[in-house]
Each structure stands twice: as structure tokens, then as C-alpha cells.
Amino acid sequence: MEAMEYGIEWPKGVLLVGVPGCGKSLCAKCVAASWKMPLLRLDLGKVFSGIVGSSEANMRMALSICETVSPSIIWIDEIEKALSGIGSGASDGGTATRIFGTLLTWMQEKTSPVFVFATANNINSIPPELLRKGRFDEIFFVDLPNEDERAEIFKIHIEKLKRNVSKFDIETLVECSGEKFWGEGVRLTGAEIEAAVREGLLESFYDKVENHNDTKDLCTEDIVKSIKRSVPLAQIRQRELKGLRDWASQNAVRASNMYQGVKQESIEITVGRNIDF
């Protein structure tokens, strides 16, 4: 209330751009939980209908519901895929373009306390009208996790399996999942780390059953084996990722907190503009 009396308006929203599997969608859920506000997921794919005019009506009704339950957070996941039909009016009669126009106008003119939280993987597929100031308050770039972030991710997923983190060599896991092992610009995403830990658990269980070793349990070596067998997304799509990071270094704010614990000699760089919170 004090901020409103001071003249500050309700925030419009943010756009999170980044590599798939780095936690953009999870951020939306965390924001909703932190703010203690309802999170409404807007699936633009379900807005489209075969009856003429019904798609636009569905869009207006969805936005009206968001305003009715406000203050709320509207979550649009992978927004670039939902808007992929814009400009191809010959195939859909211009429906996608009209729906996009409705969304743009609503984002610009809305006065109700609805916070828009959108995520995207491919910035090149997003119409430039959506990126200009006034639609979102800020655009954040979620880069591949650095050393400290990967260490925390490993700890979280090991603890989820009810294992004692102190028995694992986290430093070795961090090194095997980063640029020191895979090369410049290649690191494991959060989703790939989770998959490696779970695959290591399967490896450990197989070893226990096959060798009749009742004392066998998940260890660092099991996870390292699964990491070495994987092929990181950052390696498969190295060219696309470089282009995305080049764009983000000038046009987006770095989402990473850049912990003080990051080693000075680290070769891993998190791109994006700085912002003081």
C-alpha cells in the first residue's frame, strides 16, 4: 500500500529466457509460493478452437478469469511455441495473429494486479513487439548453472534420495559436470544433473543385485559414470546456445545470483547484464 501511495504501479511481469532444463518453469512456482498468490497456467495451445471466432473468445475469457482471481500470477510456459503461427495467416485465417494482438493489448493496458510470468527457450521465435518495454518489466536470462549452483543442485537431489550428502565428493561431481571436463561453454543443466543422480541410483542398485552386495549403496562413482555416459544439451546445441548467450549479454539481465563463493580462477562465465537488487 505504501508503494502504491508513492505512485508505484503494480508490476507487469517478467520474461525468463534460457536453456531448456535450467529451472525457468520452477521459478514461476517458486515466485507464486513466495508471494503466496495463485499461479494460473495459461496454455495458449488450448485457446485455439475450430469454430470461427471461438479462439479469440476463449482468449478473452481466460484473461478475464485471471483478472477475476487477482492478485494472481499468470504463467505462460514456452511462449514462443504458442505464438509460432503468427504471420502465417494463410494457414489459420489470421487467428494466431488476432490472439497475439489481444494478449499484447491486455498486457499493455491491464490495470488489475495480474503478474505475467513467461518463459522461452528460443528468443529468435519471439515477435519483437513482445520484447519492448511496457510488456514486461524486465527480461532475465537463465544461463547454464555455474559451479556453486551445480553443487547445490547435486546436494538437493542426493538429499531427495535420502542419502547423506557428506558421504559424496561434491567437488568431483561439480568438476565432471562443468567446462573443465566437457570443454568451453558446455555444462550440465539442472535437469541433466537430476537425471544423472537418478541414473547413478539405478547403476548402484543393479550392482547391488547383480553382485549380491548387500552393503552397496549410491556413491560418487555411480553418479560420475552416469555423467560420463551422457551427452549434454549444451554440446548438442552449442551453436544455438552461443547465439542465445551473445544476445543475452546485451539484452537481458543475468538471473544468476553470482555467489561470493565462486572461485576467482573459474573459467565458467554466466552471461547477462548486472542489476542491483
Q: Is the pLDDT of residue 263 over 70?
A: no
* pLDDT value, residue 132: 84
Retrieve residue 161's grid coordinates: 534420495
How far apart CA 177 and CA 200 sit, in angstroms, is 14
- 144-172 pLDDT per residue, tens: 999 999 999 999 999 999 999 999 999 99
2-142: which CATH topology?
Rossmann fold (3.40.50)
The answer to whether the beta carbons of residues 13 and 118 sit under 8 Å apart is yes
Return the domain boundaries, the chain: 2-142, 147-236
**pTM of the entire predicted model:** 0.84
Mean pLDDT, the chain, rounded, equals: 86
Which among 109, 110, 111, 103 is positioned nearest to 129, based on CA atoms? 103
SS3 assignment, position 115: strand
CA torsion 260-264-266-269 (nearest 10°) is 60
Q: Is the pLDDT of residue 133 over 90?
A: no
The answer to whether the beta carbons of residues 127 and 81 sit under 8 Å apart is no
- 40-76 pLDDT per residue, tens: 999 887 887 767 678 888 889 999 999 999 999 999 9
147-236: which CATH topology?
Helicase, Ruva Protein; domain 3 (1.10.8)
